[in-house]
Amino acid sequence: MLVGDRTDSRTVADIVNEIEARGGMLVGPVAPGVPAPRRRDRHLRLKYALDHILALLALVVLLPVLLVVAVLVKATSRGPVLFRQQRIGENGRGFVMLKFRTMRQPTKLLRFEPVPGMAPGGIEGEDRCTVVGRVLRAASLDELPQLVNVLRGEMSMVGPRPERPQFVERFSRELPGYAERHRVRPGITGWAQVRGFRGPTSISGRLELDRAYIQSWSLWLDIWILLLTAATVVGLLRADRPQRGDGGQAVLVGRRQETAPGEHSRQTPDGEGSEAAVEDHRSRLPIGS
């Protein structure tokens, strides 16, 4: 509550306590003079500790799969096994995100100028995707090396998907509230992804869900998202694309907001190439961009 130009810290603190008592979490500064909620810090520490445990267990269990995939990638095309790309993570810090390489190395540098109002996502470079790469993308197996990013403390198992620096800069200018995504570690999967927002989908719809996740975060929500992800990967659930105007927010906050006119032409980028636009061959599994 504002009194003149002052903040009534006691009132704000009461609101913070009420939100956290209901299992929610506030991320980032609340108001001048109000200390960061201790419960939030404890929850984040617990979340990141569980991330490390889950990532380590997953790497141990999936080690045979990782080795087979690495051999297939190396044997079927020239180039490194891993694809590395700069992404923006928690608090705006950059890090190198890992994937299995799914494309052939380009023989020449390709450049693509995106259409105004659109993010890269055309068909240029489509023929560079290898046969093995198409299979890896269809099953989202190319994302498995990001378990190493989780162990490094750069990513979380669940959270908003990380984006490339040039698009972070652009979307931060164009979309109010976009920077809020960087208040937590980015995830391998996320609430937006299990709601169908991955690949060339509305960035405003994805942002709406990312912000809803951050504002409504709890360990139970993370567990639910992981269960939905697992069920989709094994085929128990179908991960459809969102309908027009569907931000999916109804599930979290009980209401649906239509996307503003023109927002459907503003799409999220995907693919490996930073200099070339790449057709998204992925399935609709809720893992990855």
Residue 197 pLDDT > 70:
yes
C-alpha distance across the termini of the chain, in Å: 38
Q: What is the mean pLDDT of residues 218-226?
A: 93
What would the pLDDT profile of 72-121 be if each residue is shown by its tens digit?
Answer: 999 999 999 999 999 999 999 999 999 999 998 765 544 544 444 344 44
Q: Which residues of 65-93 are buried (b: 16+ CB within 10 A; e: fewer)?
A: ebeebeebbeeebeeeeebeeebbbbeee
Q: What is the mean pLDDT of residues 2-18?
A: 49
Q: What is the mean pLDDT of residues 175-182?
A: 93
pLDDT confidence of residue 276: 32
What is the Cα–Cα distance from 286 to 289, expressed in whole angstroms?
9
Contact 155, 187 (CB under 8 A): yes
What would the pLDDT profile of 50-71 be if each residue is shown by its tens digit?
Answer: 999 999 999 999 999 999 999 9
The pairing of beta strand 6-7 with beta strand 2-3? antiparallel
Residue 208 pLDDT > 80:
yes
pLDDT confidence of residue 49: 95
218 φψ region: left (φ > 0), alpha (ψ -120 to 50), beta (else): beta
**Residue 20: which pLDDT band, with cuts at 50, 70 and 90?**
low
Residue 15 pLDDT > 70:
no
pTM (predicted TM-score):
0.70
Q: Could you tell me where the DSSP H helices lie in 164-202?
A: 165-174, 191-194
What is the Cα–Cα distance from 274 to 125, expressed in whole angstroms?
11
Residue 284 pLDDT > 60:
no
pLDDT confidence of residue 59: 97
More confident residue, 278 or 131: 131
pLDDT confidence of residue 275: 31
- Counting Cβ atoms within 10 Å, is residue 180 exposed (0-12), middle (13-18) or buried (19+)? middle
Average pLDDT, the chain: 75
Contact 89, 114 (CB under 8 A): no
Domain ranges of the chain: 45-265
Residue 248 pLDDT > 80:
no
Q: What is the mean pLDDT of residues 200-225?
A: 90
What are the backbone dihedrals phi and psi of residue 194, each rounded to the nearest 5 degrees, phi first? -70, -15
Q: What is the mean pLDDT of residues 153-171?
A: 96
